[in-house]
Amino acid sequence: MAGNFWQSSHHQQWMLDKQDLIRDRQHDLSKLTDEEYQKIFNFFASIIQVLGEQLKLRQQVIATATVYFKRFYARNSLKCIDPLLLAPTCVFLASKVEEFGVISNSRLITTCQTVIKNKFSYAYGQQEFPYRTNHILECEFYLLENLDCCLIVYQPYRPLLLFVQDIGQDDQLSTYAWRVVNDSLRTDVSLLYPPYQIAIGALHIACVMLGKENLKPWFAELNVDMDKIQEIVRAIINLYEMWKNYDEKKEIQALLGKMPKPSPAPQR
């Protein structure tokens, strides 16, 4: 579906308004600070990333899974569905939509188990990944409903490559900017801005990091709303600032403890 972002469900239904986003998070933000909330998302984005890598998915698929995850919690509290279940469900759904080929149920569960055990023991200790295929399948229906069946997600990667081509192929620049786009998945920008703007924001940051002054005229000639680009840049830079003084390995257990959790059916 390249080529008509403007008619897409992504543009028409899933370009959210910052104020709405803040309002819809009120429940969670009464229990968590903004920063804690972001750290929790950062953590689950890592789980999605590592799961995707273990399953040998392309970055595009991983990014789509991450956006599904963010879209679900943009409309729902963290307590509605355990994010540890929703994260692999997003990966599962995205891999089908992006036609990677079907990941078998058992392979998905096994991968979750090994990933949680080997890579995230700092968060879950000795606890095993607690869900089975039937949980994922049930969760998948809820996810699809909450996404309102909007499954095609436009990502900044393709516009990024086109911009880099336009600038004149520069491998270092494109590698840096690509990584910045990956990092942008840890922020809200994918819910708030069109992917081509995120690509420009990422290029901008990469240029600054690489000290490429000579690209200023290129940016100046772009016909885009530079205020929006600045907002994107700020959101990503804020993430980098946060990372500087943050040790996930030390803090995440406490954060997960504080996180709002699903309540069971009332006992009769």
Partner 1 sequence: MGDNFQNKTMAPVMMDYEFKIKTQNERSKVEDLFDFEGCKVGRGTYGHVYKGRRKDGSDTKDYALKQIEGTGLSMSACREIALLRELKHPNVINLIRVFLSHTDRKVWLLFDYAEHDLWHIIKFHRAAKANKKSVMVPKGMVKSLLYQILDGIHYLHSNWVLHRDLKPANILVMGEGPERGRVKIADMGFARLFNAPLKPLADLDPVVVTFWYRAPELLLGARHYTKAIDIWAIGCIFAELLTSEPIFHCRQEDIKTSNPYHHDQLDRIFNVMGFPLEKDWEDIRKMPEHATLVKDFKRSNYQNCSLSKYMDRHKIKPDSKAFSLLQRLLLMDPNRRITSEQAMQDPYFSEDPLPTQDVFAGCPIPYPKREFLTDDDQDDKSDSKARQNQQQQPNDRRQNEQTMRLMTQQNQVQANSHDHAANNAKRMRMSGPNQGNNNQGGGQQEFHQQQQMMYGQQQSANQQQQNFQQRF
Footprint of partner 1 on this chain (CB under 8 A)?
1-4, 7-9, 58, 60, 76-77, 79-82, 84-85, 93, 96-102, 124-128, 130-132, 135, 137-142, 144-145, 149-152, 253-254, 256-257, 261-266
d(CA 256, CA 123): 8
d(CA 227, CA 66): 26
Residue 226 or 254: which CB sits closer to partner 1?
254
Taking the complex as a whole, the smallest distance from the CB of residue 220 to partner 1 amounts, in Å, to: 30
Vertex 46: Cα angle to 84 and 33 (nearest 5): 75
d(CA 78, CA 76): 7
Taking the complex as a whole, the smallest distance from the CB of residue 57 to partner 1 amounts, in Å, to: 9
Taking the complex as a whole, the smallest distance from the CB of residue 230 to partner 1 amounts, in Å, to: 30
CB 44 within 8 A of CB 88: no
3-class secondary-structure state, position 129: coil
d(CA 34, CA 203): 27
Residue 151 or 237: which CB sits closer to partner 1?
151
Residue 36 or 231: which CB sits closer to partner 1?
36
* Chain position carrying tokens 């009120």: 26
Residue 100 or 219: which CB sits closer to partner 1?
100
List all residues 6 or more positions away from 103 whose beta carbon is below 8 Å from its beta carbon: 55, 92, 95
Taking the complex as a whole, the smallest distance from the CB of residue 75 to partner 1 amounts, in Å, to: 11
Taking the complex as a whole, the smallest distance from the CB of residue 36 to partner 1 amounts, in Å, to: 15
Residue 211 or 264: which CB sits closer to partner 1?
264
Q: Provide the token pair at 5.
A: 């972002």
